[in-house]
Amino acid sequence: MRKKLLLGLLACLSFLWFGTHQQVHAAEGAGFTISPALPQNQIDQSTYFNLLVKPGETQRLLIYVKNTTKTAKKLKVSPVSAFTQTNGTIGYYPNDHKDDSAEYTFSQLAGEPKTIDLAGDAQVPVTFDVKIPAKGFTGQILGSLYVEDPTVNKSGGGGMAINNKFAMLIGVVLQTSTTEVAPDLNLMAVKPGSQDNRA
């Protein structure tokens, strides 16, 4: 009796497991990868650029962009200045935030965006020469090398459309000294507002 009960339970569990199993389909994703070539002045073992730079010198940043598809791609690589998001975290993607208190920004020091053409399965190096100010700077300058595929991939069905654009980034932290800087926070203004149509 116990054996029959155990076999019956096992049969039910097998049916539930195999009978409801569905094949999962995943999107191919971005179709490209990026990786940094970390220089000798890397401060730690981070997977992003965390560099101790010298005033007045030019710091070369090198990344490799690889096309993981058989189709040619045109990608845009932009140096982007980091900013404080409304929730207080750091954003490393393109934005319209201007920090009037910043003496230098990463995008200002690193120059203009670049467009690269990638054949299928090809990998190319992309470099940016960052001009470090002659007098140096206090604290850190944060930013990223932001790689995006401007192509819009459309999908969907049943009256719904989804437009996908893919991008990846590698963070950049620059500093001319490892001396810790005491915070100097000045609250500019406090006023009520709304975000995403919410007060």
Q: Considering the domain boundaries, does residue 161 fall inside one? A: yes
The string of pLDDT tens digits covering residues 84-134 is 888 889 999 999 888 888 899 999 999 999 999 999 999 999 999 999 999
Q: Considering the domain boundaries, does residue 14 fall inside one? A: no
CB atoms within 10 A of CB 111: 13
Question: pLDDT tier at 2 (50, 70, 90 boundaries)?
Answer: low
Q: Considering the domain boundaries, does residue 19 fall inside one? A: no
Average confidence score pLDDT of the chain: 84
Number of domains present in the structure of the chain: 1
Q: Considering the domain boundaries, does residue 189 fall inside one? A: no
Using the 8-state DSSP alphabet, how is residue 182 labeled?
Answer: P
Average pLDDT of the segment spanning 160-184: 89
Residues contacting 158, CB < 8 A, separation 6+: none
Task: Report whether 138 contacts 21 (CB < 8 A).
Answer: no
Question: pLDDT tier at 19 (50, 70, 90 boundaries)?
Answer: very low
Q: Considering the domain boundaries, does residue 168 fall inside one? A: yes
Q: Considering the domain boundaries, does residue 8 fall inside one? A: no
The string of pLDDT tens digits covering residues 49-95 is 999 999 999 999 999 999 999 999 999 999 999 998 888 899 999 99
CB atoms within 10 A of CB 92: 21
Residues paired with residue 157 on neighbouring β-strands, in sequence order: 160
Q: Considering the domain boundaries, does residue 4 fall inside one? A: no
Q: Indicate which CATH number applies to the domain containing 154.
A: 2.60.40.10
Task: Report whether 123 contacts 66 (CB < 8 A).
Answer: yes
Rounded-to-integer distance, Cα 65 and Cα 127, Å? 11
Q: Considering the domain boundaries, does residue 197 fall inside one? A: no
pLDDT at 22: 33
What residues make up the domain containing 72?
Answer: 27-175
Residue by residue, what is the 3-state secondary structure of 134-199? CCCCCCCEEEEEEEEEEEEEEEEECCEEEEEEEEEEEEEEEECCCCCCCCCCCCCCCCCCCECCEC
